[in-house]
C-alpha cells in the first residue's frame, strides 16, 4: 500500500473520534468569549469615556511593542489562507458521499474560534489610535493575496507537526505580549492577549494529540514526517509579510527582530518548543521503528542542543526599525 493511502487510512481512523476532539478542545459558541466582551461597549453612554481611557493608557506602550502587536494581529487576520491550506490536506473533504467530513467539521470550528482573535486585536488597534490602520489593512490583504506554503504539501502528518508547533509558538507570543502590557499598565490589553493565548494553548493540545495518536499507529512514518519538518525548519505563518509598495516577505525579518528585542518570541523559544514536542510525544520511548526512523529519532533528540549553540551566537540588532504600520508621530 502506498504511503499516501496509509495516511488516508490513519486519517479515517482518527476521524472516528472527531466529536470527542471537538468536545475536549473546542468550546461551544454560546459559552466562549466574544470580542465585544473585552472591548468598550458601543451601546453604552460610557463608550467614549472608555475609549478615551484606552487611548491614554496605550500611549505608554513602546515602539517595538506596537510593531509586534500589529504583526501578531496581521498574522491572525490571515486566517483564510491557513484554513484553505488545511482544507486541502489528504483526508480532509468539505463533503463526502456519506455526509459531512469529520476533519472539515473540526477545521471549520477551529477556524471559528481563531477568527475571533483577529477581530478582537484589530478593533483594539483601531480604538487605540496608535497605528496607521490603512497600512495595517493593506499588509493584511497582501499577506492573504500572497498565499502561504509551510512546506507540508498535502501530508496530514507534516501538517499536524506544523500546527502543533505553531499553536504553541502563538501561545508564547500572545502570552508574552500580555505580560508586557501588564508591565506597562495596560491591564485591558493584557487580558485580551492572555485570553487569546489560552485559546492557542487549547488548540496546541489538540493538534499535538493528533500527532500522538498517529505515533501509536504509524510510528516510523510519523517520526520521518517530524524529522522532515524540523530539517526544513518550521515556517512562521507571517514569513511572507510585507508593507505597502514592498516585495513579498521584506517585512518579516524586521518584525522578527522587534519580537526578539522585547523578548516576545526568540530563537531560544523555537528550540524550547522542539524540546517540548520531543517530550510530549515521548519520541525517545517509541518502539517498532524502521532503521530510517531510528536515525530520524536520533536526529530529533540531538537537534535541540545543536540549535541552542546556534541561537546563543545570534546577535539581534538593537536599533528599532521604522514601519509604515507604526509611525513615531503616532506614539508620542
Establish whether 77 is a catalytic residue: no
Question: From the CB of residue 305, how many other CB atoms can be counted at a distance below 10 Å?
Answer: 10
Per the CB < 8 A criterion, the answer to whether 260 and 270 are in contact is no
The one-character DSSP state at 36 is: G
76 assigned binding-site residue: yes
Instruction: Tell me 5's DSSP state.
Output: H
Is 110 in a helix, a strand, or coil? helix
33 a catalytic residue: yes
Indicate if 114 belongs to the active site. yes
Q: How remote is the C-alpha of 324 from its chain's centroid?
A: 23
Q: Is 137 annotated as a binding residue?
A: no
Region class of 254: left (phi > 0), else alpha (psi between -120 and 50), else beta: alpha
- Write down the catalytic residue from 155, 199, 209, 221: 199
Active-site hit among 200, 209, 221, 243 = 200
Instruction: Establish whether 200 is an annotated binding residue.
Output: yes
Query: Both ends of the chain: CA-CA distance in Å?
Result: 64
Residue 203 in marked binding region: yes
User: What span, in angstroms and rounded, lies between the C-alpha atoms of 133 and 127?
Assistant: 10
Measured CA to CA in angstroms, residue 152 lies from 85, 149, 215, 221 at distances of 10, 7, 18, 14
Give the CA distances from residue 195 to residues 200, 250, 269, in Å, rounded to whole numbers and listed in that order: 9, 30, 20
β-pair partners for 100? 95
3-state secondary structure of 99: strand
Catalytic annotation present for 170: yes
CA dist., res. 313 & res. 180, Å (int): 26
The phi, psi pair for 237, rounded to 5°, reads -55, -30
Q: Of the listed 9, 33, 83, 212, which one is catalytic?
A: 33
From the candidates 170, 174, 186, 239, give the one annotated as an active-site residue: 170
Tell me which of 114, 135, 186, 209 is the catalytic residue. 114
Residue 203 known to be catalytic:
yes
Measured CA to CA, the distance from residue 71 to residue 242 in angstroms comes to: 10
167 a catalytic residue: yes
**Which of 72, 90, 113, 167 is flagged as catalytic?**
167
Please name the helix (run of DSSP H) or strand (run of DSSP E) that holds residue 100, with its range, or none: strand 99-100
Residue that is written with C-alpha cell 477551529 in the block: 110
Annotated binding-site residues for Fe cation read: 76, 114, 117, 167, 200, 203
Binding residues are 76, 114, 117, 167, 200, 203
**Catalytic residue ranges:** 33, 76, 114, 117, 167, 170, 199-200, 203
Amino acid at each position: 500500500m502506498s504511503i499516501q493511502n496509509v495516511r488516508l487510512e490513519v486519517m479515517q481512523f482518527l476521524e472516528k473520534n472527531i466529536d470527542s476532539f471537538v468536545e475536549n478542545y473546542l468550546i461551544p459558541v454560546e459559552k466562549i468569549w466574544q470580542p465585544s466582551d473585552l472591548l468598550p461597549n458601543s451601546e453604552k453612554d460610557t463608550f467614549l469615556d472608555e475609549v478615551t481611557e484606552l487611548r491614554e493608557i496605550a500611549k505608554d506602550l513602546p515602539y517595538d511593542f506596537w510593531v509586534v502587536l500589529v504583526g501578531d494581529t496581521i498574522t491572525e487576520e490571515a486566517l483564510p489562507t491557513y484554513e484553505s491550506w488545511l482544507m486541502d490536506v489528504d483526508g480532509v473533504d468539505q463533503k463526502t458521499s456519506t455526509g459531512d467530513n469529520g476533519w472539515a467539521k473540526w477545521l471549520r470550528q477551529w477556524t471559528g474560534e481563531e477568527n475571533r482573535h483577529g477581530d478582537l486585536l484589530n478593533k483594539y488597534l483601531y480604538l487605540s489610535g496608535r497605528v496607521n490602520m490603512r497600512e495595517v489593512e493593506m499588509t493584511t490583504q497582501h499577506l492573504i493575496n500572497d498565499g502561504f506554503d509551510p512546506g507540508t504539501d498535502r501530508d496530514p502528518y507534516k501538517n499536524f507537526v506544523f500546527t502543533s508547533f505553531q499553536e504553541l509558538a502563538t501561545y508564547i507570543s500572545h502570552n508574552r505580549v500580555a505580560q508586557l502590557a501588564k508591565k506597562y499598565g495596560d491591564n485591558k490589553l493584557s487580558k485580551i492577549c492572555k485570553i487569546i493565548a489560552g485559546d492557542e494553548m487549547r488548540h496546541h493540545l489538540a493538534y499535538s494529540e493528533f500527532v500522538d495518536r498517529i505515533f501509536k499507529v504509524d510510528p516510523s512514518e510519523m517520526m520521518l514526517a517530524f524529522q522532515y519538518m524540523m530539517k526544513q525548519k518550521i515556517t512562521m505563518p507571517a514569513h511572507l509579510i510585507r508593507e505597502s509598495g514592498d516585495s513579498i516577505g521584506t517585512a518579516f525579518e524586521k518584525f522578527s527582530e522587534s519580537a526578539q528585542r522585547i523578548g516576545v518570541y526568540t530563537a531560544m523559544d523555537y528550540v524550547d518548543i522542539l524540546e517540548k514536542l520531543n517530550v510530549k510525544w515521548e519520541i525517545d520511548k517509541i518502539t517498532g521503528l524502521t532503521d530510517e526512523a531510528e536515525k530520524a529519532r536520533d536526529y530529533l533528540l540531538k537537534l535541540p542542543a545543536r540549535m541552542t549553540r546556534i541561537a546563543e551566537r545570534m546577535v539581534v540588532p538593537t536599533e528599532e526599525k521604522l514601519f509604515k504600520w507604526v509611525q513615531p508621530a503616532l506614539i508620542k
